[in-house]
Amino acid sequence: MNKLLEVNQLKTYFFTDNGTIPSVDGVSFSIDKGQTTAIVGESGCGKSVTSYSIMRLVDSPGKIVNGEVQFEGKDLTKVTEKEMRTVRGNEISMIFQEPLTSLNPVIKIGNQLDEILILHQKMSRIKAKKQSIAMLQKVGIPRGEQIYRSYPHELSGGMRQRVMIAMALSCNPKLLIADEPTTALDVTIQAQILKLMKKLTEDYQTSILLITHDLGVVAEIADRVIVMYSGQVVEEADVFTLFANPKHPYTRGLLASTLQLDEYKGNLDTIQGNVPSPSNKPTGCYFHPRCPVAKDICRKEMPQLKNLEQTNNRVRCWLFEDEKEGLLHAENA
């Protein structure tokens, strides 16, 4: 009812000279209004490609080959490029990992902010300037007027990231996608930026899709967590359950290696081995070669993503196959 975004069986493949790479391999999840959802998982598991697919920014040789991205009654995989540009400017915004690459180095911050408002909200130049300076103040930039007249290189990394957030929120988007928004920043600034994002989304009722490999960040800001492994969702839960009672052996390994929790020490405290190459995935469950509790069936058959105990929480693991709850999606990936 309260769903803002629903991703269904999304598959995004890269068609390279060396073969087809199924980077996003049948991903399904949904995001509620006003909620912060985090996607976590090791490097290469498909987090960024998932978010680029939602925004339809996947470049050749990548292509969405299957699935839906339902947003406000539209399937974004099907709308025209013109409609998609409107969605990108007004309804879904994205913050990238390195703000320097997404700010134009030769245009003053203020003009870049103004442009968005003039283009998407059809504001007059005078009104846009006022709104831009107000936005800079809202994201915690003290001398808004001065920063308005600065070039990107004149700002620190933390300031640039704040400017990016101001830009992303200036059109009052319904969904903000933030791909590792704080990775390039030091820990103190990182905490400030996260707090700021949280506060701004509370004020504006924006939903956030936060992509990160940092579980500390997740604990601080997320309501729900999606754990990805090798192009698939392996677990999805509310943040409390995920930390208190992680189900999938991969999630348990991730938590243990990040948080060094005593109860997970032992053979699960680090995850042995590497993420499989997307072009050469193992048979059965993709995680089985690294799983400390793999059974015979795990080597042969892919488990499905199942709801647990009448909750919205889901896990893709043969350990939980015996539970009685019905299948949510008959996945064939």
Ligand X SMILES: Nc1ncnc2c1ncn2[C@@H]1O[C@H](COP(=O)(O)OP(=O)(O)OP(=O)(O)O)[C@@H](O)[C@H]1O
The residues that touch Mg ion, with contacts defined as CB under 5 A, are 48
Q: Which is nearer to Mg ion, 49 or 76 (CB)?
A: 49
Binding mask 43-62 for ligand X (x = CB under 6 A): xxxxxxx------------x
Q: For residues 204-233, which are near ligand X according to CB under 6 A?
A: 213
Rounded to the nearest angstrom, the gap between the alpha carbon of residue 82 and the centroid of all alpha carbons in its chain is 24
Q: Which is nearer to ligand X, 32 or 214 (CB)?
A: 214
Residues 6+ apart with CB under 8 A from 197: 165, 176, 178, 181, 208, 221
- What the block records as the tokens of 53 is 């697919």
Q: Least distance to ligand X from the beta carbon of 5, Å? A: 18
22 binds, among ligand X, Mg ion, none (CB under 5 to 8 A by kind): none
Q: Least distance to ligand X from the beta carbon of 249, Å? A: 19
Picking from 53, 42, 44, 57, the residue whose alpha carbon sits closest to that of residue 9 is 53
- Quick check: 67 binds ligand X (CB under 6 A)? no
> What single-letter amino acid sits at 10?
L
Q: How many residues bind ligand X (CB under 6 A)?
A: 15
Q: Which is nearer to ligand X, 80 or 280 (CB)?
A: 280
Task: State the Cα–Cα distance between residues 12 and 4, nearest whole angstrom.
Answer: 21
213 binds, among Mg ion, ligand X, none (CB under 5 to 8 A by kind): ligand X
Residues 6+ apart with CB under 8 A from 185: 157, 158, 161, 193
User: Phi and psi (nearest 5°) for 257?
Assistant: -75, -25
- Provide the binding-site residues for ligand X, judged by CB under 6 A: 14, 16, 21, 23, 41, 43-49, 62, 213, 278
